[in-house]
Structure 1
């Protein structure tokens, strides 16, 4: 069997003169020179295993998208999810425009096990304004690339219609843009793989998609919509450390929970630090929501939160405006 070192190095013996320090005689001793040997592509994976086995290297493999299974029998209990990603001319969904949308549809079980990819969608769109150099730097998309392109919204509707869940890695960004693009997105339950998976609890030092993908052992051509969708699918499917299952199972558990959003309207100004320390966030009222501090909590801690507000914030009996937020409302621009 070919030795491990032979995968990478060859030996050239060349005569090299050396001087004996005792007799001053000149001797000729073969000199070993190392040179890289070209690897046959069939050896690449074996070479990667050798490097990984040394404990001195970590290997990233190029992500190859899963094949699309177009003909498959329905499996009882399985549902359909769609991962979506948008590239836009800016960050403001009320003013900026979608220039690319990518989607990957896949089946999944109730426990989060991921099945087949059943469809992909990718389309460019020419906006009404020129694409800025900054957006081109971030996305790789130029004004020339999108010239004359439109997104077939009927095709988007047909692609999304069967989905039980829409997933984005920053749903608070993507959902408002998607809902402005096509009404069908507003009818679906949404989940955010960035906000609804506690990545730090599993030892990850960040939650950006490229970082998560590299920790799973892959690299890809980032910031193009459908490529990012394929990347997120592999991140959701990969096993988490400590036999914690896969990220998809944790995402589903979070998406299934309803939250209560409590608005501490009219709270005393000198209570702002107490509210902030407890996890309340400020809303300035420009998005149609109350101009107020608010918090989102699980339903089972509602009474404890009411006790805190009544005793430590208002000093009286109050019934603050409270909304029940499910996956159908979460991450909307005005929810």
Structure 2
């Protein structure tokens, strides 16, 4: 069955579950109220992973700071790739050292300057929970991972971990969902939550992954080999074409870049040679990506 058709059927199933007498029933998610299996027998087939989220003073990963963090561990099935049970969590506010919390950030996060006054994250707890995890999951790992690795106490631990991303490693469009925003995905699955506080965000994400079974999609993507294609010295007039092909602008290297599956690389290079660089010689650079380098700042 075609993925998009399968996705539309899946989406309809979720909608059917929340529609009753022509009314849509959306329930508020406050905390986990499912009856999780209590007697999980630990074995080599049962692993632990962590979901993590940060709230920050802004979106500049080089200069902004973390003002709140939350991390929760989960048991998961290493064979069937499904979440089993939520475990311990840690959440804390943090007073920034050189940034201010602007009214715009307060509007987004609900965090005020006085809320973080004198507060400090215990990075040792975060480090230990990350070290115990098979992998780290975030809904936008391309942002959260660099922010975490800016913290000296966490940098080495994080750099040696596999990070995965529920935003980019689930093809939400093929599954019938027109948006990959977490709040909207949760609504499609019949619940809403008070968003943009770190602990609530990660627990709502865990609930979404649990009810939808999307950990399978994420871990299937881990097994796929990727390369990074950088269009060095691409003609300016090719920018719209590259954007249409979902290349993104890398401001550090000042070039258009994209992650490409290894088995699709030849087709991509032919496109770049014939459509982007022609008649000049292609200057595209290809770099193999190690599984532990996904979502790092410079990858």
The answer to whether the superposition gives a TM-score over 0.5 is yes
Aligned-partner SS, 1:328:
helix
Displacement after TM superposition at 1:111 (Å)? 2.8
Task: Name the residue aligned to 1:163.
Answer: 133
CA distance in 1, matches of 2:23, 2:121: 47
CA 1:218–1:321: 2 relative to 1, 3 Å: same
Count of residue pairs brought into register by the alignment: 275
Task: Name the residue aligned to 2:256.
Answer: 293
Structure 2 matches for 1:136-155, cutoff 5 A? 136-155=106-125
- Is it true that 1:62 corresponds to 2:35 in the alignment? no
Query: Relative CO higher for 1 or 2, CA cutoff 8 Å, sep ≥ 6?
Result: 2
Task: Name the residue aligned to 1:242.
Answer: none
Unpaired runs of 5+ in structure 1?
Answer: 1-50, 240-245
CA distance in 1, matches of 2:100, 2:242: 43
The answer to whether the Cα contact below 8 Å between 1:69 and 1:119 also exists between their aligned partners in 2 is: no
CA distance in 2, matches of 1:61, 1:320: 48
Displacement after TM superposition at 1:300 (Å)? 0.6
The answer to whether the Cα contact below 8 Å between 2:68 and 2:91 also exists between their aligned partners in 1 is: yes
CA 1:295–1:93: 2 relative to 1, 3 Å: closer
TM-score (norm 2): 0.82
CA 1:133–1:321: 2 relative to 1, 3 Å: same
CA 1:70–1:113: 2 relative to 1, 3 Å: closer
Displacement after TM superposition at 1:266 (Å)? 2.7
CA distance in 1, matches of 2:19, 2:36: 31
Task: Name the residue aligned to 1:322.
Answer: 286
- Is it true that 1:180 corresponds to 2:150 in the alignment? yes
Whose radius of gyration is greater, 1 or 2? Answer: 1
Task: Name the residue aligned to 2:180.
Answer: 207
Displacement after TM superposition at 1:161 (Å)? 0.1
CA 1:269–1:119: 2 relative to 1, 3 Å: same
Aligned-partner SS, 1:200:
coil
Displacement after TM superposition at 1:82 (Å)? 0.7
Aligned-partner SS, 2:174:
helix
CA distance in 1, matches of 2:194, 2:282: 53
- Is it true that 1:77 corresponds to 2:45 in the alignment? yes
The answer to whether the Cα contact below 8 Å between 1:267 and 1:314 also exists between their aligned partners in 2 is: no
- Is it true that 1:95 corresponds to 2:63 in the alignment? yes
Task: Name the residue aligned to 1:256.
Answer: 223
Aligned-partner SS, 1:65:
coil
Displacement after TM superposition at 1:168 (Å)? 0.8
Task: Name the residue aligned to 2:9.
Answer: none
Q: 1:303 aligns with which of 261, 266, 274?
A: 266
Displacement after TM superposition at 1:148 (Å)? 1.4
TM-score (norm 1): 0.74
Q: Deviations over 1:275-326 (max 9, x none)?
A: 4444433333xx2xx3323332110122222333334424476574211224
Q: Deviations over 1:166-193 (max 9, x none)?
A: 1111111111111112212222111111
Root mean square deviation, CA, Å? 2.6
CA distance in 2, matches of 1:221, 1:273: 37
CA 1:205–1:268: 2 relative to 1, 3 Å: closer
CA 1:307–1:210: 2 relative to 1, 3 Å: closer
The answer to whether the Cα contact below 8 Å between 2:36 and 2:84 also exists between their aligned partners in 1 is: no
The answer to whether the Cα contact below 8 Å between 2:26 and 2:192 also exists between their aligned partners in 1 is: no
CA distance in 2, matches of 1:164, 1:248: 13
